[in-house]
Structures are given as C-alpha cells and as structure tokens.
C-alpha cells in the first residue's frame, strides 16, 4: 500500500519506560532547488540514568533522502551536518566526512521518527526482501556520530515493517500510519494524540 502525499502533520510519542515526550511537526516545503520535506522535533527524556532535552531539524529531498540535520541540546551541545542526498556528508564548514559515505539516512537516539526516513525513501513491498543500510547514528550522550548497520523488511503491504540491528541482536516490528510515521515501537515508544 502506497503512502499518501505528505501534508503538514504533528505527532507525539512517549517512552514506555520513564518520563519523556517527543513532539514532531513535519511538512512539505519549497526551497530554491524545489520541493522538500522538513521535520522539526523536540525530545525530552532519559535513558540509562542520563536525562536529555533535544531539538532537531531534518531537511530531506521530496523522495526522503536526508540533505541536512541540526541537533541541539538544552545544555548547549550542537551538531549540524550536510549531505548531497546520495550519502556524502560534510560539516557546516565544508569538511568532508568520508567515514559516512553511503549513509543516506540518519538515526537519532531516542526518536522513533527517524525510522520513517528509510521506510518512506525505499517504499518497500514484501517481495523486496530485506534491505541492509548504513545509517549515520547520533547518540544523545556523546553527540559523536557513528556508522550503524540496520536492516528493514516490509512484512505486510498494510504498512508493517521489521527493523533490526545488522548484528541481529535487536529486532522489532513497526506498524506505521499512512504517512509512514511509527505508531508503536514495542518496548520503547508509543504514539499519543497530538
């Protein structure tokens, strides 16, 4: 089943353990280079005994390839990187980051939203099998991006996807809505009304 064209949308998720909330607004935008997508979110939470407050902005092409992201914490840490949408990254100052070559998508620790990026970009069907991806992963404790292998499989055309760590230590089935946004992330997050 295809996803519907994106309209301005606001959703929230809460963690299943501990306190916290993610508030996301996502919408199509027009840029000098054409149509695009912007996601802006705020996350408050804590895992492993470390509380965090984070704001993020992710800009994507109209077909969901990440072009840039900014992540800022309430304690003043900041990370902003740019991409050509084909998996070539650089800092805001133009320093190339070849260690992330091939990472088209990003994964923010503590956010079920970033699962939407590969799900929408790939538009997989069950007959497509499993796709292994290299993600640019940003942990909220160190803010040091790392390369992370992840696997996605479309289980049913009714929008159920299996996410797994490449090392197969963790696997979870993610139902998504007509926008490709996660509804339920078992053991970690649950959608709540905005």
Instruction: Give per-residue pLDDT as tens, 63-114.
Output: 999 999 999 999 899 999 999 999 999 999 999 999 999 999 999 988 999 9
3-state class (DSSP) for residue 8: coil
Task: Quote the pLDDT of residue 72.
Answer: 95
> How does the average pLDDT of the chain come out, rounded?
92
Task: Quote the pLDDT of residue 110.
Answer: 86
Residues 6+ positions from 66 with CB-CB distance below 8 Å:
58, 59, 60, 83, 85, 104, 105, 106, 117
Calculate the alpha carbon distances from 12 to 5, 23, 41, 50, 58 in Å: 20, 5, 9, 21, 16
**pTM for this predicted structure:** 0.94
């Amino acid at each position: 089943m295809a996803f519907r064209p994106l309209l301005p949308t606001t959703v929230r998720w809460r963690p299943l353990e501990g306190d916290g909330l993610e508030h996301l607004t996502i919408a199509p935008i027009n840029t000098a280079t054409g149509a695009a997508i912007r996601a802006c979110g705020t996350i408050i939470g804590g895992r492993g005994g470390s509380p965090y407050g984070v704001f993020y902005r992710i800009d994507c092409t109209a077909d969901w390839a990440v072009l840039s992201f900014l992540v800022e914490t309430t304690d003043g840490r900041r990370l902003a990187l740019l991409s050509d949408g084909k998996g070539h990254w650089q800092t805001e100052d133009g320093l190339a980051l070849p260690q992330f070559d091939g990472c088209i998508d990003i994964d923010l620790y503590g956010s079920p939203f970033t699962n939407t990026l590969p799900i929408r970009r790939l538009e997989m069907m069950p007959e497509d099998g499993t796709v292994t991806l290299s993600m640019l992963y940003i942990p909220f404790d160190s803010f040091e991006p790392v390369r992370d292998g992840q696997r996605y499989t479309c289980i049913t055309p009714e929008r159920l996807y299996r996410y797994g760590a490449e090392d197969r230590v963790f696997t979870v089935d993610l139902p998504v809505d007509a926008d490709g946004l996660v509804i339920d992330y078992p053991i970690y997050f649950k959608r709540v009304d905005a």
